[in-house]
Chain A
Amino acid sequence: MALLGEDGRGYELARKLESQGIWRSWLGDALYSSFIPFLSSPAAWDSFMLPDDSKSRPQISLELRARALLFDKASVSLFAQPTALSKLNPNYLELHGDDVYFTLENGAQDVDQRHPGVAASSTTSSKGRSKASGIGSRFSEPDVDAVSQRLSLEELPETWYNQFFEKYRATKSYTLMFGDRDSEKRTPEQMSTYLSLIENHKRRRVAFVDNISSLRSNPVMVDGSPADDAPLFPETMSIFNCVPDSAVLKTRRLENNQKVPFNGVLDNLPQTMTKSPVMSPIMIERLGIRPEYLSMEQGQGWGKNGSQGSRKLLSQEQASRISQKVVVRLLHNVGFESSSDTSLEVIAQLLSSHINKLGRTLKLLADSYRKQCSATELLKMFLQTAGYSNLRTLVELMKDNSKSVAPQTQQQGLSIQGQNLPQQQQQPSVQQSQQMLRQMNPQMQQMNNPQYLAFQQQQQQWERMRRRQQHHQQLQQQQQLQQQQQQSTPRPGMNMNMSIDKDRPLVQVKMEAPSDFSLDTNTFTSMNPRQPQLRQQQLAAISSFHAQANNNAFRPMTSLQIPQIHSPTMSMSRAPPVKVEGFQELMGGDSSAKHDSEENKLLSPRK
């Protein structure tokens, strides 16, 4: 507090107060006489203000009372900018009865003294004193109050404020306050009068003024009445017309709740630009396509927020059911034909526990070594913990799975072609299909969807789509299969078959598993006009398929829906209702396609 001077004792301020005769009125005549010698010199003032154990109780009480006034007047420098003593308004330094003071003594006494009707004035209180015994509110225990009262009465006379209020109560204005009940209504005129009154009052009491001479003239100009310095108690004077200073209430501005993007250490795994030395530059230059993970920005929830699409949240039951289906698929891949109920449940639980364990490991590693290690190192640590430090085993697993798909796909293709014969009406040529594909590419360039697929991935996805469509076709015609002879006539030229099958998934995938494929559905709809009849058939197939499936929650996992539809009991302890060959085709189809035969691959247009 700059007003207290550099040493913080406030000698200058005390001198200023003395020059206006405030100490005398504040302390009373008796105390003033013992106080004034301390103001004679700075040294004396310092010794007065310094806390000293040798001082007697009355001395300390006097010091505290002096401090109270001093600090109260100096506290304005906490809030206001100019801090020069010379700029202090003399009126400000005066003692005013309507200033708000805190009371820390004579709490009960104050309450008694107050007029019971003056409820509002209970907010005003006498000057605070940091007396140890006086700590507490006005509602403190009477014992403490009694002690403080006794002490204060014995050592010091009444505070200035009490004296002031005694006098004020005797004045006419106080009694008139409660006699005048005409102005009980709240009227705009009285409210504006109140506001101007308050403003004048504040202007008179302003702490710092630039020009003191101007201030002296001001009171004359503003208010001609001699009682302009009368205490102003708006709570009692204008009970009904008190208004706040401003119509706009000061509200704390709500903090901008910005979502802070939080990136885990494993969120940004090293991206590879050299996925294939041939493809990537071509991809980016010609098609503007980049692998989807390259364009992934930091902190972007991968659909967890729901903003990126269809990442579904699973319930416990759904998860356990899905894990059982996954186990069925895995068992079949390994070579089992069937399994008992219990073993299936056990392995499903094992699967979930294992994933849990891996997740815990990852979390532990990421949390513990987030700062020391990079993402790649963390991954290596994780793989070592899991036992797969040699990635070859995992790569082989992937290859095995994809190989087991390829030979079965051809069988499927052949058998399904036999079924599709009656349904086909048109056979678009190879060139058409290739044209369609070429059309798709420029469209993909225009897509705003940030998820772009690699060209190679797209090809593989075509394969997957085709295979899934074949699966669905198989299910749709299960009963027909049993009756019909599976006479498959290998059609001449696999390319023709490919073209047909490729057109179909355009629609089917859109309907059933849009979330699985990142390609924009608009591209699919653009193809539809070319195959209107096929589409109708597809829709019929799909509707019946869905009627059987009755399980919309598992849409993304179209391949796994098959066993559910295939037999009502998942336990597979009974013989499958269809022939073993058909069952093989159902279960053998894996969704990955890495090593397809060349015939099944889309060929670039021959020029």
Chain B
Amino acid sequence: MNGQSSHQQPKDGRHDDDTALTEFLASLMDYTPTIPDELVEHYLAKSGFQCPDTRLTRLVAVATQKFIADVATDALQQCKARPAVIKDKRDKQQKEKRLILTMEDLSKALREYGVNVKHQEYFADTPTAGLDPATRDE
């Protein structure tokens, strides 16, 4: 009996998972993701995947939306973490820090996801540029 019940539990768990997934798919039809279906289908078709079921398209849209939202949130935190603009003594009011997405914040955020969009710090016109004068002479 005990064995049966313990065996049934994983089955029930799986069944619950299936139900949860099915319900989630159903709920996708109520929610229109920010990413339109046509766009998602375009890119999915580019990679070779076609499916007439809109729920799958929306699932991919929601997943992508989450991903981008995560990246954007990390970038926002980077932006907020940066020290605010130094208060100008002449101005009485402190400038409000405007939340602008810059490449700096974005590159820091994307680094955690394995995407490297770092700017070149400088461009050298010769191979020895930037080296010490001693080594350069040699």
Is B22 a contact of A272 with CB atoms below 8 Å? yes
Cα-based distance from A343 to B62 in the complex (angstroms): 21
Contact of B24 (CB < 8 Å), options: A266, A300, A334, A394: A394
B18-35 to A contact mask, C-beta < 8 Å, 1/0: 101111111101111011
Q: Which residues of A contact B39 (CB under 8 A)?
A: 314, 319, 322-323, 326, 355
Cα-based distance from A601 to B35 in the complex (angstroms): 26
Using A293-B54, A343-B102 as known contacts, say yes or no to A388 and B72 having CB atoms under 8 A apart: no
Among the 9-residue stretches B63-71, B87-95, B126-134, the one with 4 or more Cβ atoms under 8 Å from chain A is B63-71
Q: How many residues of B contact A (CB 8 A)?
A: 64
Please, which residue of chain A has its CB at the minimum distance from the CB of B66? A397
Contact of B63 (CB < 8 Å), options: A266, A394, A395, A594: A394
8 Å CB interface, B1-49 against A: 17-18, 20-27, 29-32, 34-49
Residue A210, interface by CB 8 Å? no
Q: Which residues of B contact A590 (CB under 8 A)?
A: 34
Using A359-B47, A360-B47, A376-B21 as known contacts, say yes or no to A350 and B30 having CB atoms under 8 A apart: no
Give min CB distance, B35 to chain A, whole Å: 5
Main secondary structure of the interface of A (DSSP, over half): helix
Residue A269, interface by CB 8 Å? yes
A574-597 to B contact mask, C-beta < 8 Å, 1/0: 000000000000000011101000
8 Å CB interface, B61-105 against A: 62-69, 71-73, 75-76, 79, 98-103, 105
Give min CB distance, B50 to chain A, whole Å: 7
Q: Which residues of B contact A460 (CB under 8 A)?
A: 30
Q: Which residues of A contact B26 (CB under 8 A)?
A: 272, 275, 291
Q: Which residues of A contact B62 (CB under 8 A)?
A: 394, 397-398
Is B25 a contact of A272 with CB atoms below 8 Å? yes
Residue B124, interface by CB 8 Å? no
Q: How many residues of A contact B (CB 8 A)?
A: 82
Is A379 a contact of B21 with CB atoms below 8 Å? yes
Contact of A266 (CB < 8 Å), options: B45, B51, B64: B51
Using A360-B47, A456-B30 as known contacts, say yes or no to A351 and B41 having CB atoms under 8 A apart: no
A373-404 to B contact mask, C-beta < 8 Å, 1/0: 00010011001001010010111011001100
Q: Which residues of A contact B27 (CB under 8 A)?
A: 395, 398
Interface residues of A (CB under 8 A from B): 264, 266-272, 275, 291-293, 296, 299-302, 304, 311-314, 319, 322-323, 326-327, 329-331, 333-340, 342-344, 346-347, 350-352, 354-360, 362-363, 366, 376, 379-380, 383, 386, 388, 391, 393-395, 397-398, 401-402, 456-457, 460, 464, 556-557, 560, 573, 590-592, 594
Q: List 16 A-B contacts (CB under 8 A).
A: A267-B53, A269-B53, A275-B26, A314-B42, A322-B39, A327-B68, A334-B73, A336-B101, A355-B39, A363-B48, A379-B59, A393-B66, A394-B66, A395-B24, A398-B62, A401-B31
Rank and list the top 6 A-B pairs by shortest CB-CB distance, nearest first: A359-B47, A339-B101, A355-B43, A359-B44, A302-B52, A359-B49
